[in-house]
Amino acid sequence: MVKSLFNNIRNKLKRFRNSNTKPDQKPEATSDPEQDVESRDKILRGKPVASGDAGTRKGAAAEGDDSDRPEAERPRPKRRRPRKKGKAKPEPAVDDEKAAPARHDGWDLSSFEVPVAEGKTRFHDLDLPGEILHAVADLGFQYCSPIQAEILPATLMGKDASGQAQTGTGKTAAFLITMLATFIRNPIQGKRALGTPRALVLAPTRELVIQIAEEARLLSKYYPCNIVSVFGGMDYQKQRRELTEHVVDIIVATPGRLIDYCQYEDVQLNKLEILVIDEADRMLDMGFMPQVRRIVRKTPYKEKRQTLLFSATMTGEVERLSSEWTREPLIVEVEPEQVEVASVEQLVYLVTTRQKPALLYNIIQRQNLKRVIIFCNRRDETHRVADFLNRYDINCAVISGEVPQKRRLATLEKFRSGHIRVLVATDVAGRGLHIDGISHVINFAMPHEPENYVHRIGRTGRAGATGTSVSFACEDDSFYIPDIETFIGHELHCTQPDDAWLKLPDPAPGKGNPERRSQGPKRRSRRRTSRPRTRKPS
């Protein structure tokens, strides 16, 4: 059986060679073994063999007989099989000193003159590198916030810190300035390993990760610093390439996605210099602490790294984590009521549920508000509010947990650039969302947790700016007001709106009746079909 198969193949090869040999040409006695094997494979598969694939063409090309042939009959050049591609070689590691050109040349500290003010600390007084001061000047900062003035002198010397502070207090800039100053003053000599960061920031939400990374890029404007954001909901392989193909200085990550890269050794944390854990209380609430512990165990011992831990509330569990992960930390506390009372004007309107849409419309239109965030407690409520506003030609968009990450980022970018006037959100945007110029925050429904109230109104009045918070309280919402007042330490100003603010004009043509439709789509009633009862046979 096998012998007859080989004889059949041999006869086919002979016929093939004879058909491709001219009468005045003798076939070569020897042929290219590699080409013969390739030709045999093609014959066995039943595929036609090109004239340039036969072994006899090699001898013809050597004798130079192809010059008289037509171009169509000339043998094709020998085709080589493509080599299997192995793993791409990673880019070579970079020397810190070679990669740090002085891009702030020509800038003089004298152009950043800040007068001395009693009770305030200037960034000049901290002896920061020129690259950082130049970026701070571009951002328009002159004086340190209270937490920055208290924490930076210690962290710039390499000490650990544990702070009770929320977003909007300046803590993000505090730990980022600490990182950049350490990098500039202590560059790594020689080559650096890929996927090995010098600093790591852990945050509970994607929005907070994006915000921290953006601030880091602004502060490192005049110092080349590679910052990589790592979080779920985005392209896994793209983030992996950013980690493994380039030298990484700072990783800002959510715990879950970072654990994946650590398991496959795409990220090595054994040479980490600075570890920042932001919003530790929120990570506890979201159940991230087991993952955070696994990440911390992959870093050097606390005696060999600098650790900064921040939390909005300093509970007993957070204090235990601080004592476990930090070494003789500086304790800094910024009370919640000090944050929200000083910068945000707060007002509560006592209304019914049906009066909320009309009051919302009049607040936005009569005051001609340009950048507003409206908070709702449920996802379906955000869509009803957005649908109502769109019927009155108020440009708005929804951001909630069900919105895909790419669409969420695009929506936030449009809101920042002014293409979207109103952002309707759930508490997913309550933390970590930092957009300049938000004049009003409107609570369409009172939050059930006092902490969420503070986080919501903290989207305005940030970093020393002023803002306004307006809350709608119906009969059900009013039950949450006492707990909020206890948490912030003072009573809220509750009032009833004018009757004129509770009336709606006609909607835009073709938009329908907003009052009826704002209550949400009506469900079809399921009617039972009556079926005649049949008696069982006795």
pLDDT of 374 reads: 95
Does residue 119 lie within any of the structural domains? no
The pLDDT score that the predictor gives to residue 379 is 87
Look up the pTM and report it: 0.60
Domain count of the chain? 3
Interatomic CA distance for residues 225 and 141, integer angstroms: 21
Shared-domain flag, residues 189 and 46: no
pLDDT at 96: 46
172 is a domain residue: yes
Instruction: Kindly state the helix (H) or strand (E) to which residue 365 belongs, with its residue range.
Output: helix 356-366
Same domain, 328 and 359: no
Amino acid at the residue 395: N
The verdict on 294 and 249 lying in the same domain is: yes
For residues 330 and 346, state if they share a domain: no
Residues 314 and 345 in one domain: no
User: Could you tell me if residue 33 is inside a domain?
Assistant: yes
Q: Does residue 96 lie within any of the structural domains?
A: no
Does a structural domain hold residue 224? yes
> CA 151 to CA 171: how far, in whole Å?
9
Q: What is the pLDDT of residue 151?
A: 94
Residues 171 and 293 grouped into a single domain: yes
Q: Examine the fold and report which residue of 271, 305, 334 is the final residue of a domain before the chain moves on.
A: 334
97 within domain boundaries: no
Q: Which are the contacts of 71, defined by CB distance < 8 A and separation ≥ 6?
A: none
Q: What is the CATH number of the domain that holds 406?
A: 3.40.50.300
Q: What count of other Cβ atoms lies within 10 Å of the Cβ of residue 285?
A: 14
What is the edge-to-edge ordering of all strands in the sheet holding 306-311? 227-230, 250-253, 199-202, 274-277, 306-311, 161-164, 330-333
Is 358 inside any structural domain? yes
The answer on 365 and 283 residing in a single domain is no
Q: Which residues have a Cβ under 8 Å from the Cβ of 398 and sit 6 or more positions away?
A: 382, 383, 386, 411, 424, 425
Q: How far is CA 108 from the centre of its chain?
A: 35
* 311 and 365 co-located in one domain: no
Closest CA to 308 of 187, 181, 178: 178
Domain stops at, among 17, 45, 64: 64
Digitized pLDDT (tens) for each residue of the chain, 538 residues in all: 545 655 666 676 566 555 554 444 444 444 444 444 444 444 444 444 444 444 444 444 444 444 444 444 445 555 555 554 444 444 444 444 444 444 555 677 777 778 888 888 999 889 899 999 999 988 888 889 889 999 999 999 999 999 888 766 789 999 999 999 999 999 988 888 999 999 999 999 888 898 899 999 999 999 999 999 999 888 899 999 999 998 999 999 999 999 999 999 999 999 999 999 999 988 988 889 999 999 999 999 999 999 999 998 788 899 999 999 999 999 998 765 444 556 788 999 999 999 999 999 999 999 999 899 999 998 889 999 999 999 999 999 998 877 777 788 888 889 988 899 999 998 865 565 677 788 899 999 999 888 788 888 888 876 567 789 999 999 888 899 999 988 888 889 999 999 999 998 877 666 655 444 444 444 444 444 445 555 555 4
pLDDT value of position 219: 94
Q: Is residue 159 part of a domain?
A: yes
- Are 253 and 156 within one domain? yes
Dump the DSSP string for 149-202: HHHHHHHTTT--EEEE--TTSSHHHHHHHHHHHHHHHSPPPS---TT--SEEEE
CA distance 399 to 427: 9
Sign of CA dihedral 428, 432, 435, 436: positive
Q: What is the pLDDT of residue 427?
A: 80
* Domain identity same for 250 and 376: no
In the chain, what's the furthest Cα-to-Cα distance? 110
Same domain as 424, residue 365 = yes
Cβ(434)–Cβ(465) below 8 Å: no
What pLDDT, on the 0 to 100 scale, is given for residue 43? 41
Q: Which of 115, 161, 414 is nearest to 275 (CA)?
A: 161
**Domain identity same for 296 and 362:** no
User: Domain containing 49: what range?
Assistant: 2-64
Tokens of 193: 């390993």
From 468, 462, 488, 487, select the one nearest 169 (Cα to Cα).
Answer: 462
